[in-house]
Structure 1
Amino acid sequence: MLNDFGRLGRAWCEADEEGTDRKTLIRRLMDDQYSRPVRIVAFNTAEGWSRDVTKDIADELRRCIAEYDEVPRSVQEFVEAALRC
């Protein structure tokens, strides 16, 4: 995940191998573990591919937002920006 750290710039956040599935990523985003997510890229090194899944994740977040009482501002901004592009 590419995260915007403001004045410090943008950087790719590392994740442990067990925490990189879609369900865990959605949970971590909703738990506000990323301050300003910008882009999400999926990698499959075994098959030799990578792809930008930013819009896919944003769309899934948009659908599940109704299930949460409180949605972090970072998620709201990420969804709005991703779906605008």
Structure 2
Amino acid sequence: MMRRSPSIVPHGADGDTYVVLNDFGKLGRAWCEADEQSADRKTLIQRLMEDQYSHPVRIVAFNTAEGWSRDVTVDIADELRRRFAEFDEVPRSVQEFLEIVVRR
């Protein structure tokens, strides 16, 4: 009998999950870890505005229950721009992220 690897998909993951590709400079790029409860869109926006990612360059959303994934970088950048008024200060990392998205 062939052994199966355990699934990396969170149990009960019936909502959309968001992951961030961060540029760590000389160390390269990597997808940042996020626990199951904080991989939603609302928390992602909050973490971006709290400057928790040093150099975000891409954001991908997926939903395993529905069987899809897509690049949502532009969608998130647009939402950040619309919501600037809600925040006292926009972190430099978010400003740079928006500049990267515009150049694409």
**TM-score normalised by length of structure 1:** 0.93
Matches of 1:15 and 1:39, distance apart in 2: 15
Three-state SS of the structure 2 residue aligned to 1:40 is strand
Q: Which runs of 5+ in 1 are unaligned?
A: none
3-state SS of the aligned residue for 1:51? strand
Q: Deviations over 1:19-63 (max 9, x none)?
A: 111111000000000000000000111111100000000000011
Match of 2:65 in 1: 46
Partner residue in 2 for 1:81: 100
- 1:7-30 per-residue CA deviation (whole Å, 9 max, x = no partner) reads 100001111111111111000000
1:26 aligns with 45
- Give 1:68 deviation, angstroms: 1.7
TM-score (norm 2): 0.77
Displacement after TM superposition at 1:80 (Å): 1.9
Aligned to 2:83, what secondary structure does the other structure show?
helix
Higher helix share: 1
Task: Give aligned-pair identity as a percent.
Answer: 80
Q: Kindly indicate whether the alpha-carbon contact (under 8 Å) linking 1:43 and 1:50 is maintained by their aligned counterparts in 2.
A: yes
What 5-or-longer segments of structure 2 have no aligned partner? Answer: 1-19
Aligned residues: 85
Q: Give the alignment's Cα RMSD to 1 decimal.
A: 1.0
